[in-house]
Amino acid sequence: MFTAKDKLIKTDTILLKQSVTSFLIQYRKNYKAFPISNINKLARHNSIKNVSNMILNDKPIAPTVAIKLIQDRYKKIAKKTNPSYFSSVIRGFQNDCRRAKKIEDVKELYKNYDNELKSIFKEMDLDLKYCINGLKALNKVLKENTKKG
């Protein structure tokens, strides 16, 4: 009834789903801890326009532009925090495996799709780190600005 290839596809699919779930559990904690409401308040505050340029990731940038970039990245991350975002990757894995002729091909496909998921996870981490670095840079510039004023 079920071949060895079918059983391998099923176990590998479960492993991919588990890696997504385990990553998202930890990631959501960090994501929800980010104070986006403070960034949104800053965006509406007029005094931020008077602040001089700041350094974000070794590049000078205007605080208003930095706030907009942080908000955009945060919204982009929000779409990826649900497991359903990754269902297309898992479905692609299953479809490719069904077309595979040998078990070795399924094992290779698993490695490829696992690496693809890891690269998506890494990109999400980098986006959140960008938001955190932006917040730190904004805080630093605002402290300097209040000392001057």
pLDDT tens string 8-54: 999 999 999 999 999 999 999 999 999 999 888 888 887 777 777 88
Please give the sequence-ordered ranges of beta strands (E in DSSP) within 84-142, or none if there are none: none
Asked if residue 38 belongs to a domain, the reply is yes
pLDDT the model gives residue 3:
85
Of 82, 118, 112, which Cα lies nearest the Cα of 100? 112
Asked if residue 20 belongs to a domain, the reply is yes
Q: Give the angle subtended at the CA of 129 by the CAs of 128 and 130, to the nearest 5°.
A: 90
Q: How far apart are CA 106 and CA 120, in angstroms?
A: 21
What total of structural domains would you count in the chain?
1
Asked if residue 149 belongs to a domain, the reply is no
Asked if residue 90 belongs to a domain, the reply is yes
Of 120, 121, 135, 27, which Cα lies nearest the Cα of 71? 135
Asked if residue 63 belongs to a domain, the reply is yes
Boundaries of domain holding 32: 4-144
- pTM strictly above 0.85: yes
Asked if residue 59 belongs to a domain, the reply is yes
